[in-house]
Amino acid sequence: MIWYWISHSKVAEIEFQMFYSLLLPVTSYLAGKSLFNSKWHGLMLAAAVTMMPFVSMISGIGYTSAGLFVLMLLTIYGVCQGRWWTWITFGLAITTKPFALALLPILWIKRSTGGSLIKRNRYILLGLLIPAAYVIIQYIQAGHVTVGVHPELNEATVWQGPVKILLNLAYALQILFSVHNYHYPNPGGTGHENLIHTTPVLIFLGLFALFSYKKYFDDKKLPIALLIGVLICFGLNAIVATMNEYYMQAGVLLLIIASLNALKKHPIWIPIALATLHFQWFYFYLAFSERLMLTEMFFGAVVVVDLLFLGWALVCWRDIEK
């Protein structure tokens, strides 16, 4: 809205989401570095997020995935660094998509330990005030709460029955480990973008690291927080509307973060993860090449990441062999 007041552009929302997409590598690096106190983790997270066109490039049609990721990443960075504005990015992330509630466990374990109960949990309490105010204002204005861009859904109709919830959960389990899928909870929703928005390799490594947390995490609270966050995201998605890859992105981000320590211990997985991340770009091109008028420059980010990987491999190959 602020950008619209400044620019008066008819596509202000799209322009702002495209600006968010430019911030993804930097915010990913800051979040990874601050969470693990390691530049390596920051660079790996930045590379993984950069290779997610369904987060960055989808901003060209106004999807809010880039904004969601930037706000979530800034929240992780902010709480690790003790920044006062963390509650703002957390609240805006939830307002963008409520699945950002997946960050609650990380905010809980990273909160300050001194002061009163309210002071220790100020990021959470103040952050929740933002979506609460949004819901109250919308209810006063419209008499109900519209869910996202779906006018047919409101606070009463968004909830699903037990059969649909089971279908959603089964679909989530299937899609986490597949490059592409048939969307059986809603067959009409099957399309080129019907795939998890990262590589299943990172999903597998993330879950493996979480279940073997004693081997991969020094901070034993972090893997528990990440796993609970994933369950919050996927569980919330299962009970509201249809399981959707875009709604699963918050949980996917946490699984990618969880995979970083496994990649650090087993770097031979890095080229495999990178190679399978390329499928995202092929499917995105098939889905949106005409709509977004994509050219060969669309693959520019892929080339940059590939070249950086080759440089890293040449320098560190002896360590990989060990």
pLDDT of residue 52: 95
Q: Where are the domains of the chain?
A: 2-321
Q: Give the integer Cα–Cα distance in Å for 86 and 4.
A: 24
pLDDT along the chain (322 residues), means of 10: 64 86 97 96 95 93 93 98 96 95 96 83 94 90 78 78 88 80 71 83 97 94 97 93 87 98 93 92 90 89 90 71 48
SS3 51: coil
In the chain, the DSSP E strands lie at: none
Q: What is the pTM of this model?
A: 0.92
pLDDT of residue 1: 57
Q: Give the integer Cα–Cα distance in Å for 313 and 6.
A: 46
Quote the tokens at residue 225: 């927080």
111 close to 80: Cβ distance less than 8 angstroms: no
Quote the tokens at residue 61: 């049609």
Which residues, in sequence order, are CB contacts of 119 under 8 Å at separation 6+?
112
Write out the H or E segment, with its range, that includes residue 228.
helix 221-239
SS3 307: helix
